[in-house]
Amino acid sequence: MTETTHDAMVPRADRGLWSEYRAPGTDLERQLAELWRDRLRVEPIGIDDDFFELGGHSLAAAELLVDIAAATGVEVAARTLFLEPTVAELAAAIEAAGR
């Protein structure tokens, strides 16, 4: 199947992000970065990248939360994503909730 222009990945550099790329270091960070990449069609996703700076919006956030629950078995409140919008922050919140 051929990618359409809508489905093509966008390099993170084209988003004008404030953060330097830092690769995911834990399994959960890698899993979250992959979910963000698939949902936002941006790559690569670093652990300091902000979901909303990458082009995320409320509908994409709701869809991402469903993806996270399906992939990890953990339900994350929308409020958590809005307050912890980076991969690193969200991973830490998920890990803290699991304790």
pLDDT tens-digit profile of 34-81? 999 999 998 899 999 999 988 999 999 999 999 999 998 999 999 999
What residues form DSSP beta bridges with 11? 43
pLDDT higher than 90, residue 26: yes
Q: What is the mean pLDDT of the chain?
A: 88
Report percent pLDDT > 90 for the chain.
Answer: 67
Under the banding of pLDDT at 50, 70 and 90, the label for residue 10 is confident
Judge whether 73 lies within some domain. yes
Judge whether 28 lies within some domain. yes
Judge whether 53 lies within some domain. yes
Q: How far is 47 from 67, CA to CA, in rounded Å?
A: 18
Under the banding of pLDDT at 50, 70 and 90, the label for residue 14 is confident
| pLDDT on residue 2 | 44
Sequence-ordered alpha helix ranges (H) in the chain: 27-40, 58-72, 78-83, 87-97
Residues of the domain holding 64: 24-97
Q: What is the DSSP letter of 56?
A: -
| pLDDT on residue 47 | 96
Count of domains forming the chain? 1
Which token pair is 59? 């509908």
What residues form DSSP beta bridges with 42? 10
For residue 52, what is the domain's CATH number? 1.10.1200.10
Judge whether 78 lies within some domain. yes
φ, ψ for residue 50 (rounded to 5)? -90, 125
Cα 32 to its chain centre, rounded Å, is: 5
Judge whether 90 lies within some domain. yes
pLDDT higher than 80, residue 16: no
Judge whether 1 lies within some domain. no
